[in-house]
Amino acid sequence: MTEQTNSSAIDQLLSERIKSTPPSFVRSILKVAVDPEIISFAGGLPNPVSFPQEELLTSMERIVKTYGDKVFQYSVTAGIPELRRLLAQRYSQRYGVNLTEENILITTGSQQALDLISKVLLNDNDGIIVEKPSYLGALQAFSQYHPTFYPVNLTKDGLDLNQLEEALTHENIKFVYAIPDFQNPTGLTYSAENRKKVGEILQKHNIVLVEDDPYGDLRFRGERLPYIGLGKHPNSIVLGTFSKTVTPGMRIGFIVSENKELLKNISISKEASDLHTNVFSQYLIYDYLSNNDVDAHINDIKNLYEDQAQAMLNAMAEYFPDTVSYTKPDGGMFIWATLPEGVSALELFPKALEKKVAFVPGDPFYVNQKNVNTMRLNYTNADSTTIKEGIRRLGELLKEL
């Protein structure tokens, strides 16, 4: 049987769900950009120098001695109680809410949380309100469940309120998905006023609000703003992760919600998927958080990323033509550049590879839009000298347009 025939035979057996799920665009790009000569601004990778390797090694030895066979045994689906209690205390103190471990569910990264929420809430053609543009990993996770997307434009202050109200006139809406802090891909942050108005609008509807917060701790300018829903909206979900502040490889994320009934159903779905998240990693993260000055560690990361973001912004100001505009984030990991009208960032990508530099074209961040004139640039995984050289190469290409 030839490879083509074999592929056709398998295709007949595949579900419509997997056929409708697009492959990750970024994963494809990262495969292309493995050449060590390529300067890549494509991935959303934390800087490896931010990983607390020595402290984690100490925690590894301590948890084996302290907890013994518990760290190697099956555990409860919701996550080990120690870590959930610690997170509940942390969120309660920071945001003035009253949470217990019953309000926390540990997940295998935020990506699993997105999948579980979709599985629990969506039937075919149910509606999801998403930002325009939105996180491509979320769009991929949601697409498996055949939803109807209702994109709402993202302004410099947050969601376009008129478009949000218009989208909410559709009766099939199940949830709103938003990244209010240092949004992926744009790096934009919702203003306090926009958050307040979005919250007031959503209070009128029986829908779930999912606030994805992977970057909130990475604010290097200004004050942290409150969540839109936590403590205010009865169907609020906040997604958190340790991937950006401790280590992405452990794949420890979590869901925070005051709605215990909603969390119970998500937990049932998780039990059917993987029984529970890696127990050793949970104990390791818990021990690390309990025995180290995590806030000081996060401050070091913020200082590092502020320097890298400024290096990229300075280089863009020096090398990019005036016809290219871009965001200036106060935290997070990304800058969003807008090219002149009619220029396709996707068509520009192979030309950039020829100059040994990579970025993410804007296409996968939109629903049903092709050849858009936007691109995402990541500044956290390269030093300032490398950033300047990569932007110089990209600037040369942009000036040739």
- Domain termination site, one of 291, 308, 330: 291
**What is the model's pLDDT at position 12?**
85
Asked if the structure places residue 57 within a domain, the reply is: no
Same domain membership, residue 342 and residue 211 = no
Instruction: Yes or no: say if 242 and 216 are a contact pair by the CB < 8 Å rule.
Output: no
Q: Which of 224, 142, 212 is nearest to 180 (CA)?
A: 212
Question: Residue 328's closest CA among 187, 153, 224?
Answer: 187
State residue 349 phi and psi, 5-degree precision: -55, -50
Q: What was the pLDDT predicted at 6?
A: 63
Give residue 32's pLDDT: 64
Q: What angle do CA 209, 139, 336 make, to 5 degrees?
A: 95
Sheet holding 360-361, edge to edge: 325-326, 334-338, 374-378, 360-361
| Pairing state between β 236-241 and 252-256 | antiparallel
Could you tell me if residue 23 is inside a domain?
Answer: yes
Q: CATH code at 391?
A: 3.90.1150.10
- For the beta sheet containing 127-132, the strands, ordered from the edge strand earlier in sequence to the opposite edge, are 104-108, 252-256, 236-241, 208-212, 173-178, 127-132, 148-155, 158-159
Containing domain of residue 278, as a range?
73-291
Has residue 275 been placed in a domain? yes
Domain membership flag for residue 109: yes
For residue 29, the model assigns a pLDDT of 67
Residues 146 and 276 in one domain: yes
CATH number of the domain at 228, please. Answer: 3.40.640.10
A 10 A CB-CB count for 76 gives 14
Is residue 93 one of the residues assigned to a domain?
yes
Assess whether 276 and 346 both reside in one domain. Answer: no
Residues 44 and 127 in one domain: no
Same structural domain, 153 and 235 = yes
Give SS3 for 72. Answer: helix
Q: What is the DSSP string of 243-310?
A: TTTT-STT-EEEEE-S-HHHHHHHHHHHHHHHSSS-HHHHHHHHHHHHHS-HHHHHHHHHHHHHHHHH
Q: Both 20 and 104 in a single domain?
A: no
Same domain, 331 and 269: no
- 27 and 173 in a common domain: no
Q: What are the per-10-residue average pLDDT scores of the chain (401 residues)?
A: 64 84 70 78 90 98 97 97 98 96 97 97 97 96 96 97 98 98 98 98 97 97 95 96 95 97 97 97 98 97 97 98 97 97 94 94 94 97 96 95 80
**Counted domains in the chain:** 2
342: left (phi over 0), alpha (psi -120 to 50) or beta: left
Residue 56 is assigned to a structural domain of this protein: no
Take residue 160 and report the two structure tokens written for it. Answer: 């376009």
Does residue 209 sit in the same domain as residue 224? yes
